[in-house]
Structure 1
Amino acid sequence: MHLLIIGGSGRTGKFFIEESLQKGHTITALVRKTSSLSPAGGLAIVQGSCLDAKDVETAIESSPTPPSAVVVTLASLRKTESPFSKPVSSPTMMTDTHRVLIAAMKTHGIKKLVTMSVFGVGDSHPFVFFPTRLVLDYSGTSVAIKDHAGLEKLVRSSGLDWTLVRPVMLTDGERNGVKVFGNQGKGVGSVPKVSRASVAGFMVGCLETDRWNGNTPVIAE
């Protein structure tokens, strides 16, 4: 399977690329700086912006055959890891990116989209532990939550075969199996965590089956 990844230079994206290549898939990665990824067999690196329709078109058309699926491991950035830190990314970066991607996918007949969203968005919000929910609502992360809600709305109405993966708190731990807590996260616990490597592994699996099409699986370890 040939894939287009957006956000491949990020921490989760790099794990996704590594596992996908190990499974025999080929990848085109659209990144702002080509130096942000190490060359590898089966990996084509294209420089550009995911917000620029022409750059996305170039990435899609750079391979002999169009990608079978698009994967998004992009994340909104803040000045520091603190949830109270000021956002650096545009407040609608994720939504705007998906608007560009969905249009390009429809033009090229690409049906499958797997996006890394986040637990706490939309109908999963009531199932977040109350103190954590306050942080999501009243800190710098609230901007990202609203943006993810926007992208989820776009994706749900896109007509594509989509999966919106909602990981809980991300860590840099080793790859493990994950447990799916439905589409909303009921019963996930008070301080659930999941490694970026585990999220990447689950997302690769989402591409290899239709099981999660039209779903928003909340995943934790």
Structure 2
Amino acid sequence: MHIALFGATGRVGTVFLHKALEEGHHVTALVRDATKLATHPNLTLIVGDAKVYEDIEKTATKADIILSSLSTDQTTTLTDSMKHMIAVCLKLQINRIVSIGTAGILDSRLEPGKLRYDSVESRRSKKFAAEEHAKTFYMLQQTTLDWTLVCPTALPMGERLGNYRVEADLLPEEGKRISVYDTADFTYKVMTEHLFSKKRVGIAY
């Protein structure tokens, strides 16, 4: 499989990248600084900006699937890049896109009809990042693409435990945290086993 990867130098993206390469996949990654990643025969690096359509298209030209682990970084990078990714998928006939979201955009158990970040379940006073993630969810919902949003709760580096719970559109009950390693591993599983099509999926211990 050839994967177009965005966010390869972030925490989840780095772990995902290592696993994908170990499993023999080809990866083309868009990065701002190519020196942050070690060379690998199956890895192609494109230096550019995820907010630029042409850079997204160049990264995805040979791809079978798009994986995005970009964060908001208190900017509109997430929504700007998702708009371009959707357009590129439609142009290049790439049907599958998997992205890392946040537990805040899962459905609220306590206030049906609301997302968690906008309900009594949220303890955050600042909602910009969750709102950006929600916008990407709504963008994907409006497409015919085969998408999945992996939505972890609190995300320490932690350890690779391999024992976690997942639930479509909801955060597993009493879920408090999930490590970067297990999030990346589950994302790889979602991608390779084609799980949770057109769904958000919550993950927590």
Q: TM-score by structure 2 length?
A: 0.90
Q: What are the equivalent positions in structure 2 for 1:24-63 lying under 5 Å apart? A: 24-61=24-61
CA contact (8 A) 1:26 1:43 kept: yes
Deviation track 1:136-173 (CA, whole Å, cap 9, x = no partner) reads: xx13xx10011011010001112111001110100111
Which residue of 2 is the match for residue 115 of structure 1?
99
CA–CA separation in structure 2 for the residues paired with 1:204 and 1:99? 23
Where does structure 2 lack aligned partners over 5 or more consecutive residues?
none
Deviation track 1:17-47 (CA, whole Å, cap 9, x = no partner) reads: 0111111111000011111211123111110
Aligned partner of residue 105 in structure 1, secondary structure: helix
CA–CA separation in structure 1 for the residues paired with 2:77 and 2:45? 21
Aligned-residue sequence identity (percent) comes to 27
CA–CA separation in structure 1 for the residues paired with 2:42 and 2:109? 39
Tell me: CA distance 1:34–1:125, structure 2 relative to 1, closer, same or farther (3 Å): farther
CA contact (8 A) 1:119 1:125 kept: no
CA contact (8 A) 2:155 2:180 kept: yes
CA contact (8 A) 1:181 1:187 kept: no
Which residue of 1 is the match for residue 170 of structure 2?
184
Confirm whether residue 134 of structure 1 aligns to residue 123 of structure 2: yes
Which residue of 2 is the match for residue 169 of structure 1?
154
TM-align CA RMSD: 2.0
**Structure 1 stretch 16-25 or stretch 120-129: which is displaced more?**
120-129
Deviation track 1:112-149 (CA, whole Å, cap 9, x = no partner) reads: 000000001152485859887132xx13xx10011011
CA–CA separation in structure 2 for the residues paired with 1:126 and 1:46? 44
Q: Which letter maps to 2:87?
A: A
CA contact (8 A) 1:4 1:69 kept: yes
- What is the count of residue pairs matched by the alignment? 199
Where does structure 1 lack aligned partners over 5 or more consecutive residues?
78-88
CA–CA separation in structure 2 for the residues paired with 1:47 and 1:116? 21
Aligned partner of residue 114 in structure 1, secondary structure: strand
> Displaced runs of 4+ in structure 1, greater than 6 A?
129-132
CA contact (8 A) 2:172 2:203 kept: no
